[in-house]
Structure 1
């Protein structure tokens, strides 16, 4: 039941839904999940080289890593990037290094929902025994990366500094897929900090999305120019269908962006997730 609710919440195509979602049919979400899994089952065990089908799993997996990279570098509570479409993809084995993907893809900014841009990227998955995260290089994304959300960010920052009490919130979105308007920026922050985890954890056998912000706890910060939060986030691997809980401690401000102080797998009890 947990998986059903989380699939309904997140949507299968990106890090987050484009806006706080309406209640979503569980049976519909599972139909979509079955379709994705069936497409994965058709993948050959031997990795293809050369030109790839842009809609198939190997190209989509590498492109998803680019999405996470862009979020770690450029995203904010009011600017989040998601994969829109893989246009072209190529793969090759690099001796003594790993497997490299060359990609042309389109990226969408999800908060405003209207802005798309094309990027070129290179993703190198190191050899398995290295246990290193993928290496990403991105070019030709200037138009979408220059989106200016400084006014919204500063207003949100000042609002949080003026809070009489430290924030605590949970289950964002709730079991019906709803996000309270006042929690939307915190949901977006959860998507961004989750990308730090998902980028580091991604391999050629994973395809991660953030499923839910289970808890967000604001903490006292010695530096008054920063906000400090601890998040419990639930991540969904579309390949294994497993849900992973991670705890992430970070600071944020409009001028400094997100600085992850600590991230670790959590023993957050998944049975505590509200289900229908």
Structure 2
């Protein structure tokens, strides 16, 4: 019996090439396996927090309800990938809390305080896609732990009545004032400004730039032929990366449980399509929001 010959070098090389091709094919078909590590190059610092805030700007605008406003509490988990040709995709889970939750409305009785405290926290999952060097990220967000719809509508209507009872014309220099204080009677105006600004901040956000409402500098209530609230106001947006303060004039039309309409123009050196916009959204958007 003759001894077994070792495989020829050419055969070993062919087997190695076939194995390499198989591994690469599996990596393309199953992108989550370790064979394809997340691309870290080009990811800005704090991308998960930036993506969560962008998702909340979008969520707040699409909700169209001052009583549904949420702010970021913390990011629980997330992953991000960079495609040099397309942009950056972020999948994440984060917690939220009700905006101005420390200031309970006057109509909340003491026996509801515990329930109110439980409503402050929520949880969201989101997919955020930042196009390369382009604003207005594509967002799909789902949130749970929100205030019940009937309670939210009740609060919105009470806020609506409070705004309608304000004397016109409004003479407002700045909200908050120089000491950072917001008069309780002006809180509804600030909340509506925050609501309208959410759309502007979402539209202007990129993977490197994100914004927050710093101050409301002027408000003009307009007369309308219907029952809605029509405001022209100017806000100052704080851009965190550059530390610039950007003034934006916003026109908002709002009525409880009806579509929110926003038009704006920001004073900055950029192309006109990025500096201004117009949008309308419904408070009922089941494809992007849950529990609404």
- For normalisation by structure 2, the TM-score amounts to 0.67
Q: What is the 5 A alignment of 1:141-152?
A: 141-144=143-146, 146=148, 148-152=151-155
Give unpaired runs (5+ residues) of structure 2.
Answer: 1-39, 103-116, 269-292
* Cα distance change of structure 1 residues 164 and 189 upon mapping to structure 2, 3 Å threshold: closer
Which residue in 1 is equivalent to 2:191?
Answer: 188
> Post-superposition, which runs of at least 4 consecutive aligned residues in structure 1 deviate over 6 A?
none
Q: Residue 175 of structure 1 aligns with which residue?
A: 178
> 2:213–2:237: 8 Å Cα contact kept in structure 1?
yes
Quote the offset at 1:76 in angstroms.
2.7
* CA spacing shift, 1:108–1:248, aligned 2, 3 Å: same
In the alignment, is the contact (CA less than 8 A) between 2:163 and 2:188 conserved in 1?
no
Asked if 1:84 corresponds to 2:85, the answer is no
Aligned partners of 2:66 and 2:187: how far apart in 1? 8
Tell me, yes or no, if the aligned pair for 1:228 and 1:251 is still in contact at 8 Å: yes
* Deviating more after overlay: 154-163 vs 102-111: 154-163
The reply to whether residue 47 of structure 1 matches residue 50 of structure 2 is no
Tell me the residue number matched to 2:95: 106
Q: Deviations over 1:33-74 (max 9, x none)?
A: xxxxxxxxxxxx94249xxxxxx5111111110111111112
Q: 1:90–1:102: 8 Å Cα contact kept in structure 2?
A: yes
CA distance in structure 2 between the partners assigned to 1:206 and 1:256 by the alignment? 31
Instruction: For 1:95 and 1:164, locate their aligned partners in 2 and report how far apart those are by CA, in whole Å.
Output: 54
Which residue, 110, 116, 119 being the options, matches 2:121? 116
2:141 matched residue in structure 1 = 138
Residue-by-residue CA offset, 1:183-228 (whole Å, 9 max, x unaligned): 0111111111111111000011112110001111101112x22110
TM value normalised by structure 1? 0.70
| Offset from partner CA, 1:107-161 (integer Å, 9 cap, x none) | 1112335411111100000122xx351000012x132264532222212323433
Count residues with an aligned counterpart.
212
Q: CA deviation at 1:168?
A: 3.7
Does structure 2 retain, via aligned residues, the 8 Å contact 1:75–1:81?
A: no
Q: Aligned-pair RMSD on alpha carbons? A: 2.2
Q: Is 1:125 matched up with 2:126?
A: no
Structure ID, larger Rg: 2
Distance in 2 separating the partners of 1:215 and 1:171: 6
CA contact (8 A) 1:236 1:243 kept: yes
CA distance in 2, matches of 1:193, 1:243: 17
- Quickly say closer, same or farther: Cα 1:95–1:243, change in 2 above 3 A: closer
Determine if contact 1:78/1:111 at 8 Å carries over to the other structure: no
